[in-house]
Amino acid sequence: MDKAALRRALIEERLNMPDRLQRADLLQQVMRIWLVNRPDTVIGAYWPIKGEFDPLPALHRWKEDGELLDEPLRRRIGLPVVNKQHKTLTFHAWHPGCPMEEDAYGIPKPKDTEAIVPTLLFVPCVGYAPGGYRLGYGGGFYDRTLATLQPRPFTVGLGFTNGYLDDFEPEEFDLPLDAILNDNGVVWPV
């Protein structure tokens, strides 16, 4: 399997989906419902690139919902900041309107906000497969980061239906996700 070619094809397909906005709305709903009974108060996510699903509107609503509870919860959202030397990620507090700057890869990241440690981490999927395995961009940032985080956060892949890969062979360092959500619902665990 040529993973580089597979990545290119899946990204191209995702960028050209005529119904991407409708699928994104469906995945927003799936995500909001899935979050309802989660006990987490610190969630890590990502800034969407290359046609990825944008988790931030659902997470902002989750944050606001926490403030409306009988006993308000301070919920926090973190976005990744790349450590170029170790090729790992830390998560820094984000909220709509917070100052942002581009990282070494041109992706927006929170500027001068505190590092936070998520107990739940939403991870973008270029593709995903049975067993909770994900195809990312090939840099290994999430796998290296998850290998070092203790305790390891509950990890959830987010992707569109077309990213499903029936015959994907994970490599030895690939870590399975705990759950995967797409625009049809929960994909993993089944």
The answer on pLDDT for 86 being more than 80 is: yes
52 annotated ligand-binding residue: yes
101 annotated ligand-binding residue: no
The pLDDT of residue 42 = 97
Q: Give the pLDDT mean for 167-187.
A: 92
163 annotated ligand-binding residue: no
For 136, the token pair is 């990312």
The answer on pLDDT for 70 being more than 90 is: no
Count of CB atoms situated within 10 Å of the CB of 134: 27
pLDDT digits (tens, 9 = 90+) for 17-51: 999 999 999 999 999 999 998 999 999 999 999 99
- Check if the beta carbon of residue 148 is closer than 8 Å to that of residue 86: no
Which has more pLDDT, 119 or 170?
Answer: 119
Query: 52: pLDDT confidence band, cut at 50, 70 and 90?
Result: very high
Assign 1 to helix, strand or coil.
coil
69 annotated ligand-binding residue: no
Percent of the chain with pLDDT over 70: 99
The pLDDT of residue 68 = 84
131 annotated ligand-binding residue: no
106 annotated ligand-binding residue: no
- Total count of domains within the chain: 1
Long-range contacts of 92-97 (CB under 8 A, 24+ apart): 92/116, 94/45, 94/56, 95/60, 95/63, 96/56, 96/60
DSSP string across 118-148: -SEEEEE-SEEEGGGEEE--SS-HHHHHHHH
135 annotated ligand-binding residue: yes
The pLDDT of residue 160 = 98
The answer on pLDDT for 85 being more than 90 is: no
The pLDDT of residue 161 = 96
Q: Give the pLDDT mean for 159-166.
A: 95
The answer on pLDDT for 185 being more than 90 is: yes
d(CA 53, CA 51): 7
The answer on pLDDT for 79 being more than 70 is: yes
- Check if the beta carbon of residue 45 is closer than 8 Å to that of residue 122: yes
6 annotated ligand-binding residue: yes
Q: What's the domain range around 31?
A: 3-189
Q: Give the pLDDT mean for 161-174.
A: 90
User: Which CATH number is 179's domain given?
Assistant: 3.40.50.10420
Q: Give the pLDDT mean for 85-100.
A: 93
Count of CB atoms situated within 10 Å of the CB of 82: 18
142 annotated ligand-binding residue: yes
The answer on pLDDT for 1 being more than 70 is: no
